[in-house]
Structures are given as C-alpha cells and as structure tokens.
Amino acid sequence: MQLSFLEPLFDRSGPWATVYFDPGRHDESGAKRRELSVREVRRTLEEQGADAVTKEAVGEALAGMSVAENPAGRALFAAGGEVVLSLRLSRAPQGQIACWSPLPRLAPLLELCGQDPVCLVAYIDRTGADFERRGAEGPRDAGGVEGQQWPVHRTSTSDWSERHFQLKVENTWEHNAGEIAEALVTAYEESGAEVAVLVGDPRERSVVREKLPDAVREATVETEHGGRAAGSDSPALEEAIERARRECAARRVEVAMDRFRAGRVGTDRPTDAVEGVPAVVEAAREHRIDTLLLRPGGPDLSRETWVGTEPDQVAVRRGDAQTLGESDPVSVRADDALLRSAAATGADVLLIPVPDEEPSLSGDADRETRDDTDVSARPGRTTSAVGTADTDTPAGGIGALLRWTY
C-alpha cells in the first residue's frame, strides 16, 4: 500500500485526535447507540488531553456522518480544531478507537481500509471501452475510449459479394482493439493499478489482452461475467473482481516474503532486508526503506520510539533523537513513527498475514514495551501473541526491504 494519500497529515504539527468510528445500523436504535458512541469519543479525547476545539470538530463530524455512505465507518484525523482527513473504512473496527497523540494513529488504517491492490476494470465491446478504478475508496470512473463505430456488425449472409464488407468489419474490430489496449495502458498507469480485469465481448477482450505490453498483460485477467451495456453488473462479476484483487495481494506478499527471507540478517553478503525496531529505525533515518513490513499483533509495534518534527528524525532513544537536531523529541509508538517515515519517503507498506486468533492492528489495547532480553527481539526469531515460535516473519512484527545495501 502506498501512503501518499496521507500527505495532508504531515503538512502540520500535532498533537492529533485519531478516531476509528463505526456508525452502526441505520435505524432508530442505531441512531441512539451512535449518539452514545459520539459522547464516548468526546469523553475519551477530553480525558487524554485534547483541546476543546479539536474535540468539538471531531464530535460534529461524527454526528453528521451518513450511515448509508459509510456502512463500515470512517477514520478521522484532526488537529488544531479541524478535521484534516476523513477516510471511509472497508471493514468496521473491532471496538471504537479514539486517541490523542503526538502523531496520527495510522496502523489500524492499514487493516481497516484493506491493502487489496487497486484494480482497473475495463468494460469492453467492439466499439470501445469504459474504465473503472476499484480501490479501498470504492468504484471510481477512470475514463474510457471510443473507437470506430462503423462497420462493426457482420451480415448474416455468406454470399461471396459480402466478403469485402465482412473484412472491413473485422478490420474495425482489430483497429478498435488496438485503441482500447493503448487507452487501457494509460488508464492502468494513471490509476496506480496493480491488476486489470477485462469484462465484456469475448473476442474483443481476448484481442485487447494480446495487444497489451508484457508487464500489463501478465497482470491482466478476463472474466466471462458482465459486460459494457448498462445493467449487466452481477454478483458473479463483483466476486471475479474481488478474487483478482485478493490473488494479486497474495502474490505481492509472497514475493516480498521470499525477498525478506533471502535477504535477512545472517547471510554472508550485504543484506537488503532488516528486522526489529533498531534496524528498521536506522533504515528509516537514511531513507532506505523500500517496503515496510508489519505483522499485526507484533509485540514491537507499540514499542517506544522518539521523533522530531521531520519524518527522518526518529530514534530508539531520546538522546539519539536530540543528536538528529530535535531539541524536544516526543515519545510515540514505533509503528506510527515508521509509517510517517514511509509515507514521507514514498515507501510501500505491506501487512504480513497472521492466524485469525492473533490480535489485530485495529485492537484498542496496547502492549507493554518489551525489554532487550525478550527473545522476540532477536534476529531470525519472533514469538506470536499466542506463544508459538515463528521464524518466518520479521522479529517483533516489524521489518523492511531496503532500497540499497551497504
């Protein structure tokens, strides 16, 4: 997941009010529970020291939230009396989350917004195509293309005199397929998609796929469900699109973890993968993180780190942060500090799947910081929340793939 959409959060200083809010049901009892939840959020923020104007801005935003438009809820980030960013969630939080902290509380957002890749859906027929971007924010128009409109229909006769006309029809189909493929590549790149799904006319979508560049064609799948005509959507089409996104996400995690296992500490060559808070913090300071790896439930996600006003002013100890030029560093969670750094330097962020029984990033209970003698902090070994040794994920739940090695 790229975090460029979080840029508004780093244009101003904190402290920040962060709320992950589930509006509940759209009925009378749901409205009452929602009112009580808003009061609870206000009270929690006040108890944690939030200023009155920011607390009121959050309360007003939550009270005016449309349940129909936000069935799973929203994440709100507010500072200085203003809601700076409001994002729709794809999954409801497991319990209300509200906090007042020096940095925005970002880790639950990764899980609740989903990290399924952006998908470009191309609705194709023999005259053109319509493109749609599918991401965590829901479907969005991504443009389209219209090719030649005539001739596109064959005649029913097989008389020899019609052969010239039939050839012109097939030439039109071929020409339009080329225009669709060219427009699809442009839309694919502009939308930031990682997978494309071709929907519609079987012959045309097959020809379009053949005309795509290798890199895009390898990330493209076809489905027999749905079409370009209005009203042709179906549950089967939606499932095909979501399946393509899930499979793409699984491949991305598999590739990243193969690289992590091959490059982690312990090899006899310069490593391009690091794990544990100290090593990842050092990489963040040097802008070397290519992909930040987080394992939900990892004990080091809540470990104390110290930060300054700049994203690369991050350290494990307060004194180290001061040597970076920050006279008054503040204590924050490791995951929030590293996510800010990743967003500022254009790094990718990837959640490493965990068994269902482990706590999630969206849980509201923080773990106590572990000391340096904890076995989970040793390279090459982690311990899950249920006490099972796991040598296949980053130590403590935090790791990184690097842009370059020393």
d(CA 162, CA 403): 61
pLDDT, tens digit, 9 for 90 and up, residues 144-173: 998 766 655 544 555 555 655 556 666 677
- Which CATH number among 3.30.420.60, 3.30.930.10, 3.90.180.10, 3.40.30.10 corresponds to the domain 119-249? 3.30.420.60
d(CA 59, CA 377): 40
Angle, in degrees to the nearest 10, between helices 28-47 and 52-63: 170
Range with top average pLDDT, 20-24, 29-33, 166-170: 20-24
Architecture of domain 4-105: 2-Layer Sandwich (3.30)
Strand order in the sheet with 128-135: 138-146, 128-135, 119-125, 195-200, 220-223
pLDDT at 355 over 70: no
d(CA 184, CA 196): 9
Q: Report the topology of domain 264-402.
A: 60s Ribosomal Protein L30; Chain: A; (3.30.1330)
Q: What global pTM score does this model have?
A: 0.73
Lowest average pLDDT, out of 64-78, 142-156, 255-269, goes to 142-156
pLDDT, tens digit, 9 for 90 and up, residues 367-382: 333 333 333 333 333 3
Domain residue ranges of the chain, discontinuous segments joined by +: 4-105, 119-249, 264-402
Q: Write the DSSP string, 110-121.
A: HHHS--PPPEEE
Identify the band that residue 4 occupies on the pLDDT scale cut at 50, 70 and 90: confident
d(CA 351, CA 296): 7
Residues 306, 318: contact at Cβ < 8 Å?
Answer: yes
pLDDT, tens digit, 9 for 90 and up, residues 230-263: 888 888 999 999 899 889 988 888 999 998 988 8
